[in-house]
Structure 1
């Protein structure tokens, strides 16, 4: 029983419309699900992914209109990486980011891979990572209807960066409990990998005891989810987490996958999520994300929920 890799990352936006515009029209990701936060249906929950919404490709956002600025620091998921096919794709992206005046850094090598750091319009910290030399967890397939050439499109989630005041505590849960392996070091980071390894299954851990705790807001990351095969394995993971004394949510049915939440010792929220059943459960795969999707237990409140949400026009790019 192994963690297969990164499942999804969920972040915060203050404006769903601008968020949708950036991640679909500029980054070329596909909106595979327009739904609501199941714990607070008054806010949108948007899922961007590859063309099929494959596990390991989802970057999601909760809309909190009154969210303040993020003040970066420790106890945080400090960067979310997005995979691209090769080094040539990074050159394309550098030109595209310059064209649209998106804040970014020079192309830099990290852990043997070319990378390109950028920030979205809310200072969400992102990094494009080349798969040219990558081996391990397979990537997804870029959406063929995106405004980005398919050969340069985003193929999924890459390494997740954690910034903590005490790295040993997080290392212990990654290695001793979750079965990650230490894969190497670069700069101030220690790299841990799970399952088949590679970019889609890595956590890059940074220790910073010299900076304050992050104050989250728009542009911050709420949690990271890791892939497990199915509900049976998720139940086994729940037992393991409980045996080690970590309070947890118990199994939660998110309809598109089942989840378990807990906080690691540096207070970062971890989720374990099943690969299925997937986003095509309630929508045709050719029309994902075009209308407001609600899980069955919220369907009877559709009219109330739709009234509370600001209109957000989403449609397939033709």
Structure 2
């Protein structure tokens, strides 16, 4: 197989809409410790030339990852895709350990933010909450073993093929759910 002509070097940034750029910067700094690194503001969109004033802000999410937002004051109020459940579209950030995840939960709750979790996903645990723009945010701590990650990679293609045919959850990774069930049972 020849080398693919597109050679990605990672995610440059992921961009979402925000209601208020300043409020968003302050929230991500206070809640997640992100550093506000830069901004662009124009009256005309460079790619289209359309008149549409905007503020485009960039926050450091760690490891060279950047989260960006656009404030669009002349557009209709922000909404969300009402045909997609609120839990589907989200921003997920990695933390270094389960202890860090629990410490983050304590910190975020101390700011008066409702937090769901931790939720056990077999190979990682997560907490969930919403930013001031209504975007769901997830913090995740990997807890799986190398063998578990290798097994998930091994079954990835057959799972996708089965899903594509049946549109029902393939059972190739039931062991993940069993891990979570066993941990839940041992705590109760």
Q: Does the alignment reach a TM-score above 0.5? A: yes
Unpaired runs of 5+ residues, structure 1, are 1-144, 300-318
Equivalent residue number for residue 191 of structure 1? 58
Contact 2:36/2:59, CA 8 A, preserved across alignment: yes
Whose radius of gyration is greater, 1 or 2? 2
Distance 1:296 1:285 in 2: 10
Equivalent residue number for residue 79 of structure 2? 214
Q: Within 5 Å, which residues of 2 pair with 1:1-318?
A: 149-150=3-4, 152-154=6-8, 156-187=10-41, 188-196=55-63, 198=64, 201-209=65-73, 210-216=75-81, 217=83, 222-277=89-144, 281=148, 283-284=150-151, 287-292=154-159, 293-296=172-175, 298=177
Distance 1:177 1:190 in 2: 17
Cα deviations by residue, 1:102-124 (Å, 9 ceiling, x for unpaired): xxxxxxxxxxxxxxxxxxxxxxx
Cα deviations by residue, 1:35-90 (Å, 9 ceiling, x for unpaired): xxxxxxxxxxxxxxxxxxxxxxxxxxxxxxxxxxxxxxxxxxxxxxxxxxxxxxxx
Cα offset, 1:183, TM superposition:
0.9
TM-score, length-scaled by structure 1: 0.41
The secondary structure found in structure 1 opposite 2:93 is strand
Distance 2:153 2:91 in 1: 27
Deviates more, 1:222-231 or 1:164-173: 164-173
Cα deviations by residue, 1:199-242 (Å, 9 ceiling, x for unpaired): xx211121123323334147x97001011011010000000010
Distance 1:286 1:254 in 2: 16
| RMSD, aligned α-carbons | 2.9
Distance 1:235 1:298 in 2: 21
Contact 1:257/1:278, CA 8 A, preserved across alignment: no
Q: Tell me which of the two structures has the higher relative contact order, counting C-alpha pairs closer than 8 angstroms and 6 or more residues apart.
A: 1
Structure 1 residues 160 and 282: alpha-carbon distance in aligned structure 2, compared to 1, 3 A threshold: closer
Structure 1 residues 166 and 290: alpha-carbon distance in aligned structure 2, compared to 1, 3 A threshold: same
Structure 1 residues 235 and 286: alpha-carbon distance in aligned structure 2, compared to 1, 3 A threshold: closer
Structure 1 residues 184 and 278: alpha-carbon distance in aligned structure 2, compared to 1, 3 A threshold: farther
Cα offset, 1:173, TM superposition:
1.9
Unpaired runs of 5+ residues, structure 2, are 42-54, 160-171, 179-188
Q: If each structure's helix is expressed as a fraction of its own residues, which one has the higher value? A: 2
Distance 1:298 1:202 in 2: 32
Count residues with an aligned counterpart: 149
Contact 1:279/1:288, CA 8 A, preserved across alignment: no
